[in-house]
Amino acid sequence: MIIMERNATDEQIKRVIDEILRCGLRVDVSRGEFRTIIGLIGDEKGVSFDHLAGLPGVKEVQPVESKYKLVSREYHPDSRIIKVGDVVIGGGEPVFIAGPCAIEGREQMLKTAEEAKSAGANILRGGAFKPRSSVHSFQGLQEEGLKYLAEAGEKFNMPTITEVRGEGQVELVAQYVDILQIGARNMYNQDLLEAVAKMGKPVLLKRNFGAGIEEFLCFAEYIVAQGNKDIILCERGLVPIGKGKEYTRYMLDLSAVPVLKKETYLPVFADPSHGTGRRDLVEPMSRAAIAAGADGLMIETHCNPQEALCDSQQMIMADELKRIIDVCIKIRKIM
């Protein structure tokens, strides 16, 4: 839908119409008392709206169809269910991903896995290639860490997930883990998205902290465009706004959960650990995310959070994880 300026000339209107026809579409022209509005009819895929918006006399271009047809529930109504090992994601039962922020050693990984398993977690996480804000911080054990994660997953019969931070690690990581994670900072990294999508394994895609819902889904589209529909969307918080003290690291946007469930057929998770950055907020925000309709949670746990090398403030212990899982299952049941 193209809205012309009030004083657009007939010539300008004609030029816009010609350009649209040249792209193989048809037009529906509505000449009002004050303005002319031109609707596009047909397949808009090949049309450059940027180009049309730049033509003289055009006030604005308002898209009517969504920008993300491949992941849109309007076009594909059935919810996607993803099976990884024995775990069913998006099937009604909430799924819990747990494990340490960073894999720090074999013992830490095994112990944390054992505790997470007995607390009721379904999938095991652990960071081997850590994205860090400071070049001076611990950057992860890399392949050594992946081995510990795989060993722990196998030992406790838990599918595994880890973040792929850069293109150079895609194949390596895919050898060791069951689900590949794209972190919030890489949501816009289309080269990485395509490389990861091609591995044929489920992908957990985190929303960037500055991204609107529309952008989030447009980038999920990059994965589906490679033929991979096994995508878990994960809300993990937006950049804080407002002045003064930061009480939380990010601002978990839980309304994204029901919005995404409506807009797309993909399962939706939330990450209350990164989303808040505070241990004491993990439990209330876990409950809230499930109550908002999340299909699962990603929670950072550690056998000894106070000794952790990374994100120490937001990791919880197994007893708290168990309490969270128990209450979340109950909340889901009464919904």
| Residues 97/122, Cβ–Cβ less than 8 Å | yes
Question: Count residues contacting a copy of itself (CB under 8 A)?
Answer: 112
3-state SS assignment for residue 6: coil
Considering only residues 188 to 247 of the shown chain, the ones binding a copy of itself according to CB under 8 A are: 188-192, 208-215, 218-219, 221-222, 225, 238-247
CB of 107 to a copy of itself, least distance (A): 18
Give the residue with the Cβ less far from a copy of itself, 160 or 286. Answer: 286
Single-letter code of the amino acid located at 133: S
- Which is it for the CA torsion 152, 154, 159, 164, positive or negative? positive
Residue 117 or 271 with smaller CB distance to a copy of itself: 271
User: Which of 132, 155 has the CB closer to a copy of itself?
Assistant: 132
Residue 60 φ then ψ, to 5°: -160, 160
**From 309, 318, 324, 325, residue interacting with a copy of itself (rule: CB under 8 A):** 309
Smaller CB distance to a copy of itself: residue 81 or 331? 331
Question: In the complex with a copy of itself, which residue's Cβ is closer, 232 or 315?
Answer: 315
Shortest spacing between CB 180 and a copy of itself, in angstroms: 15
Binding residue for a copy of itself, selected from 14, 21, 85, 138, defined by CB under 8 A:
138
Q: Does 276 bind a copy of itself (CB under 8 A)?
A: yes
What CA–CA distance (Å, rounded) separates 167 from 178?
17
CA gap 12, 9 in Å, rounded: 5
Contact 95, 123 (CB under 8 A): yes
Q: Which stretch binds a copy of itself (CB under 8 A): 90-98, 117-125, 172-180, 285-293?
A: 285-293
Q: 163: closest CA among 147, 137, 140?
A: 140
Residue 11, number of CB atoms within 10 A of its CB: 9
Q: How far is the CB of 232 from a copy of itself (least distance, A)?
A: 19
- Work out whether 166 is an interface residue with a copy of itself (CB under 8 A): yes
Name which of 174, 192, 177, 166 is nearest 103 in CA terms. Answer: 177
* Single-letter residue type at 123: I
Q: Does 285 bind a copy of itself (CB under 8 A)?
A: yes
User: Which of residues 88 and 291 has its CB atom nearest to a copy of itself in the complex?
Assistant: 291
> Rounded to the nearest 10 degrees, what angle do helices 279-291 and 318-334 cross at?
20
- Positions in 97-116 near a copy of itself (CB under 8 A): none
Query: Is 76 an interacting residue with respect to a copy of itself (CB under 8 A)?
Result: no
CA of 142: how far to CAs of 110, 118, 124, 175, 186, in Å? 17, 27, 17, 13, 18
By the rule CB under 8 A, 78 interacts with a copy of itself? no
Q: According to the binding rule CB under 8 A, does residue 48 interact with a copy of itself?
A: yes
Is the CB of 74 or the CB of 107 nearer to a copy of itself? Answer: 74
Cα–Cα distance for residue pair 239/49, rounded to 1 Å: 29
Residue closer to a copy of itself (CB basis): 177 or 289: 289
Query: DSSP label at 208?
Result: P
Would you mind telling me the total number of residues written for the chain in this entry? 335
